Each structure stands twice: as structure tokens, then as C-alpha cells.
Chain A
Amino acid sequence: MNAKRFLLEAAALIAAAVLCALVSNTLAARERKLALVGYYPSAQKAPVQTAPPVVQPVAAAVPAAGTAASPPPPTATETVAVRPAKTPAATVTAPAPAPAPPKKPDLARFAVHPDKPYVEIAYNDVKALHDASVLFLDARRTSIYEQGHIAGARPFSVWESDIDDKVRKLYDERPDEKQQGQAIVVYCSGGECEDSHMLAQKLWGIQFNNVYVYKDGYPDWVAHKGDTHTGSNP
């Protein structure tokens, strides 16, 4: 066979494929669309394979009555160290023997950590942040999100083309430094899922300095019977 003709045919097949790909991506629905150039900082780093995490029994998640006054700092996993939480002076000097007011989650331990993109936390900390109405972001695909998500969480799939718009919109919602230091919890499917870490990196990249990754993710939340919601609304 003529080599020139062969090369022309091969080039035509590839060119047609590129054209079809671009057209189909342009016409695709939002959830099926991809940004042509992706941003995946650790795309060439092979992950360290670890044993699957053991889900804590529900009983262990409830703190004992005596420990409620001094909550532990967020539980870090082996991959990201947690900066020791600074206890505000006011809480040290306030014995307050008055009748117990309704319990308000103590968020002082979830301090900003501008030196690292995220801190991995486990169920107890996630529950405390959820009770404090902290912003939750679901990094899984929107179609999965709609099947069930942590109540109040917003869909922020890192694999969909509108992720940068959503991150930018979030930045517009929290324009000043103080607001950017408010805690945000991101999660995906737990286990080997890294979507939440990728989303946390993105958020850190635009100055959100207080992002927590719920390492065991949605399956763990369901196992602990946390509040969930289905459908496209948070």
C-alpha cells in the first residue's frame, strides 16, 4: 500500500475524531462537559496503596459526657499533619458555673491553616462542623450527588466543566479574608476517592485556608446515620 495514502487516511481518521470530540463536547449537557485543559496537580503521582479504612461504630462516635468540655483537635490521618489548635484565651479564663445553655459546637479548634491545602478529618469532627452549619461541598459527580448527599452540601464535582465557575462563585460569596477563613468541609466517596482532595487543592489555590477533607466520605456518613438529602438541591 502507498505509504502516503496510508498516512493521509490515518491523519484523516484522527482529525475526524478530534473534530467529533470538540463538537460533542460543545453540545454536551453541563454534567457531561469537560474543560479542554484540565487542572490535576498530582496527575503523575502514583498513590500510596493503603488498607481500606475501618468505619467507626456509631457508639464510638458519641463523646463521653466528661469529655464534652474539652473537645480534641481534628483527627488527622497519616497523610496530613494537623497544626495544633490554639485555644482562645477567653475560653481558658471562663469557668462559667451557670446553668448549661444549649450546646453550641466549639469551632475554635478548626483554625485556619494557610500552610497546607487541607486537613483530613473523621466523622466526629465532620459531625461537629455539620452541626455548626459549616459549608459542605460534595466533590462527587452530580448524578451521584442527586442520589443522596450530606444534608446541606452543595454539588462541586471536580470532573465537570463548571467546577471553576462554581469555585469562582464561592469566592465571590466570600470575598474578604475573614470569610475565606471559615471552615469548609469537602467529601467524596471515601476509600481511594481523591476528588475531595482535588477540590480542596482548588479551594486552597484561591485563598480558602480552612478546608477539611472528610476522608471516609459519604459512605461513612451514611453508616453513622448522618442527615442526608436526595435530589439536586442541598
Chain B
Amino acid sequence: MKRWLQSPWLTIRVQLALGVFFVAAALPKIVDPPSFAHMVYNYRIMPGGVINLMALVMPWIELLCGLALILGIWTAAARSIIAAMLLTFIAAISINLVRGNAIDCGCFDPNPRPKSRAERLDDMRFVIYRDVGMLAMVAQLWYAGRRRDEVVGDGL
């Protein structure tokens, strides 16, 4: 198990999958920042003054980190930033689940189709599981990278 988790075969695939995931998540938000700003606003967590800045910058962080993982450049930094973002997303969605504030996560599509409250709450639970799954992928990359400084990218 330990050997398999550290295998370059698995690490390359996990790294590429995570990279593609983040690039795919970033592009629709970069194309339409006002819609994404609306999504960020719906979380009701950020101070009003920083919502637009966050809506502009966060998708680019996702894109560049995703590209870094795909290209194998600065992978340790990219996966750490991705881990931090995933933890933030999980916390933000959890807070709104506890509040009963049913929102669209805006993860991949800043213009989602109208949904019922129950559908949104179900989606929010699913998003938490999905983000935990991606955190597990980051953990695998970190575990594999711990033994050799970089299995993919910088180390090659």
C-alpha cells in the first residue's frame, strides 16, 4: 500500500487529474467575473469590499496552480495553495450548511440553472465530499513527494 501510494504511476495521474480539475473550474469564472462575484457574495462570509477582488483573483490562482500541476512546475507550492483553497471551500460551505443558507457553490459554473432549496443543500453536501476527495488527492501528492523531494516536475 505504502509503495503503491508513492508510485510515480499513481502520482502523475493524480497530479494531472487535480490540475485538469482546477483549470476546468477556473475558466468559466475567468470568463464571467461578475457572476462569480455574485456567487462569492451569496456565501455571506466575505466583507463587501473584498468580494470583487476575490472574484477576480481566485480563479486565476486556480488556473495557474492547475497549470503548474499539469506542467509539473512548482508542484509543491501549487498543491499547497490548492490544499489551502480546498480547506477554505469546505469551511465556507459547511458554515452555510449550518446556517441553512442554501447556495450554489459556484465551483464550476457561475451561472447555474435555478434549483430548489433542497437540491442546493444536497449539492452543498456533495461538494464537501468532493472537496474532501480532492484533499485526499493532495495528500497523496504530498506523501509521494515527501520521500523524494519531487517525483514529478521539479524533481525530474
Contact = CB atoms under 8 A, between A and B. Distances in A.
Nearest to B146: A1
A25 B34 contact: no
Nearest to B49: A37
7 contacts: A20-B64, A33-B33, A40-B48, A43-B46, A159-B34, A160-B34, A195-B38
Interface in B55-99: 55-57, 59-61, 63-65, 68, 74, 76-78, 80-81, 96, 99
Interface string B104-117: 00000000001001
Contact of A34 (B49, B55, B77, B102): B55
A14 B41 contact: no
Main secondary structure of the interface of B (DSSP, over half): helix
B139 interface: no
Chain A interface size, as a band, is: 35 or more
Contacts, number: 115
Contact of A36 (B52, B60, B117): B52
Nearest to A40: B48
Given A9-B74, A14-B81, A34 B41 contact: no
B37 A38 contact: yes
Contact of B101 (A21, A37, A46): A46
Nearest to A157: B34
Interface residues of B, number: 45
Interface in B120-147: 145
Given A13-B65, A159-B37, A38 B49 contact: yes
Indicate the member of A9, A36, A44, A191 with the most B CB atoms within 10 Å: A9
A49 B100 contact: yes
A37 B138 CA distance: 33
A31 B33 CA distance: 9
A31 B48 contact: no
A34 B41 CA distance: 13
A43 to B, nearest CB: 4
